[in-house]
């Protein structure tokens, strides 16, 4: 009998890392090559840019955004908080396609909401990319916060790592 190898499950794209870039005068950013390489080929050109939960904007690969909208569509519309949340998520969202030079146009209202002036940090965050004003990002995440160990204990204990593989 032939011995079979233990084969890891297929790789999935998880966006990670921080990437500094600059907003040009027309509100465009050059999507860093290292970040783009983390995306599956079918998700490298079409995006939706929307407001984030905090002081940032968010870039969703288009297919991820559509899956998110489907999940939002399953919320009970007769609950006021659900309706308000869905409206807030969709407000100011805009579809964006990379131009011939690999740039994305960030809507002016999202630039303003996120307090972006020129310098930006793109932060890979699982299935999306957060768009932070560099000053805000560095203030919040530039140094290890005093409560990191406490957060790691609270949140980290919720993560089952028993099925992770190399």
> Is the model's pLDDT at 36 over the cut of 50?
yes
Q: Could you tell me the fold of the domain covering 18-156?
A: Chemotaxis protein chec (3.40.1550)
Mean pLDDT over the full length of the chain: 88
- pTM for the full predicted model: 0.84
Cβ atoms of residues 123 and 130 within 8 Å:
yes
Q: What is the largest CA-CA distance in the chain?
A: 66
Rounded Cα distance, 129 and 64, in Å:
11
Cβ atoms of residues 131 and 57 within 8 Å:
yes
Write out pLDDT tens, residues 86-141.
999 999 899 999 999 999 999 999 999 999 999 999 999 999 999 999 999 999 88
Domain parsing of the chain, residue ranges: 18-156
Instruction: Supply the pLDDT for residue 155.
Output: 86
Rounded Cα distance, 59 and 74, in Å:
22
Rounded Cα distance, 104 and 131, in Å:
12
- Percentage above 70 pLDDT, the chain: 90
Instruction: Supply the pLDDT for residue 5.
Output: 53
Which of 61, 63, 15 minimizes the C-alpha distance to 38? 15
Instruction: Tell me what the mean pLDDT of segment 16-42 comes to.
Output: 93
Instruction: Supply the pLDDT for residue 124.
Output: 94
Instruction: Tell me what the mean pLDDT of segment 61-70 comes to.
Output: 93
């Amino acid at each position: 009998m032939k011995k079979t190898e233990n084969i890891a499950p297929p790789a999935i794209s998880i966006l990670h890392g921080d990437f500094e870039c600059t907003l040009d005068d027309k509100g465009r950013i050059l999507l860093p090559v290292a970040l783009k390489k983390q995306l599956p080929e079918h998700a490298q050109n079409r995006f939706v840019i929307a407001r984030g939960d905090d002081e940032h904007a968010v870039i969703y690969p288009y297919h991820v955004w559509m899956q998110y909208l489907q999940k939002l569509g399953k919320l009970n519309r007769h609950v006021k908080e659900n309706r308000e949340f869905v409206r807030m998520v969709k407000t100011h969202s805009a579809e964006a396609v990379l131009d011939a030079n690999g740039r994305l146009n960030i809507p002016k209202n999202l630039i303003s909401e996120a307090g972006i002036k020129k310098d930006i940090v793109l932060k890979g965050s699982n299935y999306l990319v957060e768009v932070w004003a560099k000053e805000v990002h560095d203030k919040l995440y530039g140094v290890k916060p005093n409560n990191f160990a406490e957060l790691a204990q609270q949140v980290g204990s919720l993560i089952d790592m028993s099925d992770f593989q190399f």
